[in-house]
């Protein structure tokens, strides 16, 4: 109502509520009943009042409801105004001169009312549904009405009433016909008729009824002013138009679902049309019969109904063909939508079952393929292929390069497998090959071919990348389901990786057993950590120049209560896998710092501790080390951390984090040693830029006459020692077991040595004795 505030000021009648239209109708009804009983002049005046009230109601409705298309309503208001003016004029004429005769300006104004209302109706219907269908339907009704009007109304009147008055009275049926046509068009076109529409249609009906009654009244020699029934209907006409404009639904001008509207009304319309088609011939027959009966049959009596029937037929054909076009278009649209839907469905299925990068089947798809293969029982094999060091490529060169490498790997795999199997991507750098048949032996041949092709360097953006792969193999024979096949192949892959990568491993039961063992180890280790089942042994490191023990390496031992001591090789890999290495490593570090603090104070012996990559990727690693040193009261300069080469290689976030930790610790005086040097990455250039102080030459380099040419072995150690010295690093030889090896190392200028020759790892108390002895030995030396 707030939107209409402004209109209330302009027009008091614009206080239009949702029920105003009802009060308008009910309030006027007594007046209408009274109007029927009035004399002709007063009756004309009553029409004028009703028409004026209707005009005002339309304007009020327009102001209050603000329909989106106001023009039809302005036309209706104009029509009502015409009615008011002409009726007022007749009323005055009746009072002054008696009944008017002949065509006058007033008549023309009154006819104008019909035309304006018809135009209003046409515009109300415009934009609803198909114009062609609407007009055809309206035309059919108009033709039929015209035939009926002619046969039953106009022709009889013309026969009996040759007077000019009667002639003018006959203009009304023609105008009514136009009105009726527009009303039918509105009724048909609207998908759902609003209350406003219904009121307007009733108004039109009332007017047509009044006029028909008037013509019949005149034909039977009635007075100029018409019957009481006609009078009531005329007043009702004005009333209903006004009420229609006041009804709130007048605001919602436009209906929806034009096509649906036609299709729904089609069934009803078929019945109506069938009846209508019969009306033409029936009326013609009647005209013929009555003409013959009265013996005044003329051509018009027959030609007019026949012509109208013909036009009706043509319009019907038009309407039907339009309907079938609509139906066809609907059907085509529907088919197109169904096709789209099917294509989309297919696309989604494809997406769900394929990998986006390589277009290969994904894990889900592979799972189904394995299930299908198991059902046929034809045998076959599953290979899981995992690229070694892919993470390193991704970290160092970026993801686009990583993606290119994966795409190339997929291509090579496809070439090498050909029709022998289906290739899939399981995610990340993991592929799978489902070999359709053959046993594990043929599968092994395929796997080796895969390893060979992947070993070839890959060129990406001018970079030459070297990757290898590890493969896990599982035959489909005697497998329960796809999950079992996949997990067994995974286990074999794990074993291939653990055995040193770039190789294929076939699944067998012992792998499952060792996995279970590993899981059991992790479970037990978890409870051991934090207790004194975790012990630290120490192995001395000797300086060749002084002959003294300059450092001890802390080596963890696990001594479950009442059981034999377990060496680190049996549980460190599992601890690294499970992340338990983090608390375990910290426990060892803190214990070692405490033990070594005394030795450092007494003999200046340093402590060297092994650190796993996993510990270095912890955000607070450096802080933890500093706290351990502080708590044990051991100076930072007394500590050496041993890391493996891989930790510092590559440009990944993990390597950066490790380097940051080590650089920080070095600023406090902690030294860094590269453990097992020579077994990992063979690029030596990186050593120059890294935060390291010591190279520990892996024990596999120790010259051993039993395993090869001593001269060559010595040359290798010399190279490493020289390299260390070039980079100003201390060279420490590991695994020194003999006197001869000591002599060679001393001759090559190696700085320090560690091995069974100098001492085995021993508990803290024994190590304390060894160190004390060493001091006295060196002193007496």
Select 225 or 754, whichever has its Cβ closest to Ca ion.
754
**Overall residue count recorded for the chain in this entry:** 781
The only residue of 676, 693, 704, 737 in contact with Ca ion, by rule CB under 5 A = 676
Report what 572 binds from ligand C2E, Ca ion, none; CB cut-off 5-8 Å by kind: ligand C2E
Tell me, residue by residue from 302 to 331, as one string, x for binding to Ca ion by CB under 5 A and - for no binding. Answer: ------------------------------
Structure tokens at 55: 């005009």
Report what 169 binds from ligand C2E, Ca ion, none; CB cut-off 5-8 Å by kind: none
The only residue of 403, 439, 704, 737 in contact with ligand C2E, by rule CB under 6 A = 737
The only residue of 225, 539, 671, 767 in contact with ligand C2E, by rule CB under 6 A = 539
Contacts (CB under 5 A) with Ca ion, residues 719-748: 734
Contacts (CB under 6 A) with ligand C2E, residues 284-303: none
How many Cα atoms sit within 13 Å of 189 on the Cβ side? 28
Distance CA 310, CA 304 (A): 10
Report the alpha-carbon angle 47-52-55, nearest 5.
Answer: 125
Q: Could you say whether residue 569 binds ligand C2E (CB under 6 A)?
A: yes
3-state secondary structure of 540: strand
Select 691 or 735, whichever has its Cβ closest to ligand C2E.
735
Q: Could you say whether residue 610 binds ligand C2E (CB under 6 A)?
A: yes
Residue entry with tokens 């009667």: 166
Kind of pairing, strands 463-465 and 458-460? antiparallel
The only residue of 155, 211, 430, 675 in contact with ligand C2E, by rule CB under 6 A = 675
The only residue of 233, 675, 677, 755 in contact with Ca ion, by rule CB under 5 A = 675
Select 77 or 673, whichever has its Cβ closest to ligand C2E.
673
Q: Which stretch binds ligand C2E (CB under 6 A): 198-206, 456-464, 563-571, 706-714?
A: 563-571
Report what 555 binds from Ca ion, ligand C2E, none; CB cut-off 5-8 Å by kind: ligand C2E
CA distances for 737 relative to 567, 707, 762, angstroms: 19, 15, 16
Terminus-to-terminus CA distance in the chain, angstroms? 113
Select 363 or 624, whichever has its Cβ closest to ligand C2E.
624
Contact 640, 683 (CB under 8 A): no
Q: Could you say whether residue 756 binds ligand C2E (CB under 6 A)?
A: yes
Distance CA 151, CA 62 (A): 41
The only residue of 44, 137, 642, 645 in contact with Ca ion, by rule CB under 5 A = 642
Backbone angles phi, psi at 754, to 5 degrees: -145, 135
Report what 165 binds from Ca ion, ligand C2E, none; CB cut-off 5-8 Å by kind: none
Q: Which residues contact 71 (CB under 8 A, 6 or more apart)?
A: 123
Of 460, 472, 459, the residue nearest 430 (C-alpha): 472
Select 481 or 532, whichever has its Cβ closest to ligand C2E.
532
Contact 547, 778 (CB under 8 A): yes
CA distances for 400 relative to 356, 395, 414, 508, angstroms: 14, 11, 21, 38
Q: Could you say whether residue 610 binds Ca ion (CB under 5 A)?
A: yes
Q: Which residue of the chain is nearest ligand C2E when measured via CB?
A: 755
Of 627, 730, 618, 625, the residue nearest 670 (C-alpha): 625
Tell me, residue by residue from 541 to 560, as one string, x for binding to ligand C2E by CB under 6 A and - for no binding. Answer: -------------xxx----
Select 454 or 609, whichever has its Cβ closest to ligand C2E.
609
Which residues make beta-bridge pairs with 361?
354
Of 197, 298, 178, the residue nearest 251 (C-alpha): 197
CA distances for 604 relative to 426, 542, 550, 598, 771, angstroms: 55, 13, 7, 9, 10
Q: Which residues contact 250 (CB under 8 A, 6 or more apart)?
A: 61, 65, 67, 73, 194, 196, 244
Structure tokens at 130: 């198909």
Q: Which stretch binds ligand C2E (CB under 6 A): 364-372, 493-501, 566-574, 648-656?
A: 566-574
Select 241 or 674, whichever has its Cβ closest to Ca ion.
674
Q: Which stretch binds Ca ion (CB under 5 A): 303-311, 312-320, 629-637, 671-679?
A: 671-679
Select 444 or 675, whichever has its Cβ closest to ligand C2E.
675
Q: Which stretch binds ligand C2E (CB under 6 A): 227-235, 409-417, 540-548, 731-739?
A: 731-739
CA distances for 98 relative to 95, 227, 350, angstroms: 6, 18, 90
Of 413, 355, 358, the residue nearest 384 (C-alpha): 413
Structure tokens at 142: 């108009």
Q: Could you say whether residue 755 binds ligand C2E (CB under 6 A)?
A: yes
Residue 698 C-beta: closest distance to Ca ion, Å: 6
Distance CA 417, CA 474 (A): 16
Q: Could you say whether residue 137 binds Ca ion (CB under 5 A)?
A: no
Structure tokens at 95: 């009072």
Residue 736 C-beta: closest distance to ligand C2E, Å: 6
The count of residues interacting with ligand C2E (CB under 6 A) is 22
Select 249 or 754, whichever has its Cβ closest to ligand C2E.
754
Report what 265 binds from Ca ion, ligand C2E, none; CB cut-off 5-8 Å by kind: none
- For 619-643, letters b (16+ CB in 10 Å) and e give eebbebbbebbeebebbbebbbbbb
Q: Which stretch binds Ca ion (CB under 5 A): 119-127, 172-180, 562-570, 636-644?
A: 636-644
Contacts (CB under 6 A) with ligand C2E, residues 689-728: 699
Report the alpha-carbon angle 396-402-406, nearest 5.
Answer: 150
The only residue of 560, 568, 583, 680 in contact with ligand C2E, by rule CB under 6 A = 568
The only residue of 86, 87, 144, 612 in contact with ligand C2E, by rule CB under 6 A = 612
Report what 422 binds from Ca ion, ligand C2E, none; CB cut-off 5-8 Å by kind: none
The site for Ca ion (CB under 5 A) is made up of 610, 642, 675-676, 734
The site for ligand C2E (CB under 6 A) is made up of 539, 554-556, 567-569, 572, 585, 588, 610, 612, 675-676, 699, 734-737, 755-756, 761
């Amino acid at each position: 109502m707030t939107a209409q505030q402004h209109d209330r000021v302009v027009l008091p009648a614009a206080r239009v509520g949702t029920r105003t239209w009802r009060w308008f109708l009910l309030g006027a009804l007594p007046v209408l009943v009274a109007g029927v009983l009035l004399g002709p002049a007063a009756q004309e005046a009553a029409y004028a009042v009703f028409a004026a009230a209707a005009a005002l109601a339309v304007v009020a409705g327009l102001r209050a409801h603000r329909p989106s298309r106001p023009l039809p309503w302005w036309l209706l208001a104009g029509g009502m105004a015409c009615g008011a003016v002409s009726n007022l004029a007749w009323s005055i004429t009746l009072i002054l001169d008696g009944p008017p005769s002949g065509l006058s300006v007033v008549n023309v104004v009154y006819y104008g009312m019909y035309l304006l209302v018809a135009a209003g109706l046409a515009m109300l219907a415009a934009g609803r549904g198909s114009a062609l269908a609407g007009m055809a339907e309206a035309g059919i009704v108009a033709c039929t009405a015209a035939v009926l009007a002619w046969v039953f109304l106009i022709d009889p009147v013309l026969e009996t009433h040759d007077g000019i008055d009667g002639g003018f009275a006959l203009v009304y049926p023609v105008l009514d016909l136009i009105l009726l046509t527009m009303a039918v068009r509105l009724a048909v076109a609207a998908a759902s008729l609003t209350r406003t529409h219904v009121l307007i249609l009733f108004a039109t009906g009332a007017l047509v009824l009044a006029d028909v009654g008037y013509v019949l009244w005149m034909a039977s020699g009635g007075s100029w002013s018409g019957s009481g029934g006609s009078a009531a209907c005329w007043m009702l006409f004005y009333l209903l138009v006004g009420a229609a404009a006041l009804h709130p639904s007048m605001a919602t001008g436009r209906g929806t679902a034009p096509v649906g509207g036609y299709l729904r009304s089609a069934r009803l319309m078929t019945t109506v049309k069938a009846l209508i088609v019969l009306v033409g011939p029936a009326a013609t027959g009647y005209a013929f019969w009555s003409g013959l009966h009265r013996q005044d049959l003329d051509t018009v009596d027959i030609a007019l109904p026949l012509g109208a029937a013909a036009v009706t037929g043509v319009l019907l054909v038009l309407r039907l063909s339009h309907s079938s076009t609509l139906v066809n278009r609907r059907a085509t649209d529907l088919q197109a939508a169904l096709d789209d839907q099917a294509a989309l469905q297919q696309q989604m299925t494809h997406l769900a079952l394929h990998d986006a990068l390589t277009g290969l089947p994904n894990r889900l798809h592979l799972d189904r393929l394995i299930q299908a293969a198991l059902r046929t029982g034809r045998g076959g094999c599953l290979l899981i292929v995992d690229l070694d060091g892919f993470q390193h490529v991704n970290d160092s060169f970026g993801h686009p390069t990583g993606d290119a490498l994966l795409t190339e790997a997929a291509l090579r795999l496809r070439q090498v497998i050909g029709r022998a199997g289906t290739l899939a991507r399981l995610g990340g750098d993991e592929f799978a090959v489902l070999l359709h048949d053959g046993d594990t032996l043929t599968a092994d041949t395929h796997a080796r071919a895969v390893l060979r092709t992947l070993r070839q360097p890959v060129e990406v953006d001018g970079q030459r990348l070297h990757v290898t792969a590890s493969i896990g193999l599982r035959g489909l024979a005697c497998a329960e389901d796809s999950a079992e096949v996949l997990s067994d192949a995974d286990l074999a892959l794990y074993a291939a990786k653990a055995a040193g990568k770039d190789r294929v491993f076939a699944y067998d039961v012992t792998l499952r057993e060792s996995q279970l063992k590993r899981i059991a180890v992790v479970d037990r280790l978890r409870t051991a950590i934090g207790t004194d089942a975790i012990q630290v042994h120490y192995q001395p490191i000797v300086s060749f120049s002084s002959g003294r023990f300059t450092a001890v390496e802390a080596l963890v031992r696990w001594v479950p209560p009442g059981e034999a001591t377990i060496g680190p090789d049996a549980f460190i890999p599992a601890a690294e896998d499970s992340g338990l290495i983090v608390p375990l490593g910290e426990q060892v570090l803190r214990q070692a710092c405490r033990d070594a603090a005394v030795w450092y104070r007494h003999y200046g012996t340093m402590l060297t501790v092994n650190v796993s990559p996993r510990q270095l990727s912890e955000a607070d690693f450096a802080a933890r080390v500093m706290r351990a040193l502080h708590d044990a009261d051991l100076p930072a300069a007394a500590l050496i951390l041993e890391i493996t080469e891989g930790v510092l290689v590559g440009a990944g976030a993990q390597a950066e984090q490790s380097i940051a930790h080590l650089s920080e610790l070095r600023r406090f005086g902690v030294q860094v040693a590269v453990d097992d040097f020579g077994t990992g990455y063979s690029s030596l250039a990186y050593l120059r830029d890294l935060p390291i102080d010591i190279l520990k030459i892996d024990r596999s380099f120790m010259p051993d006459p039993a395993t090869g040419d001593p001269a060559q072995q010595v040359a290798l150690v010399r190279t490493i020692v020289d390299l260390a010295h070039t980079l100003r690093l201390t060279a420490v030889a590991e695994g020194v077991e003999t006197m001869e090896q000591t002599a060679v190392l001393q001759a090559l200028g190696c700085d320090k040595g560690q091995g069974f020759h100098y001492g085995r790892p021993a508990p803290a108390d024994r190590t304390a004795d060894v160190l004390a002895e060493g001091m006295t030995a060196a002193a007496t030396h």
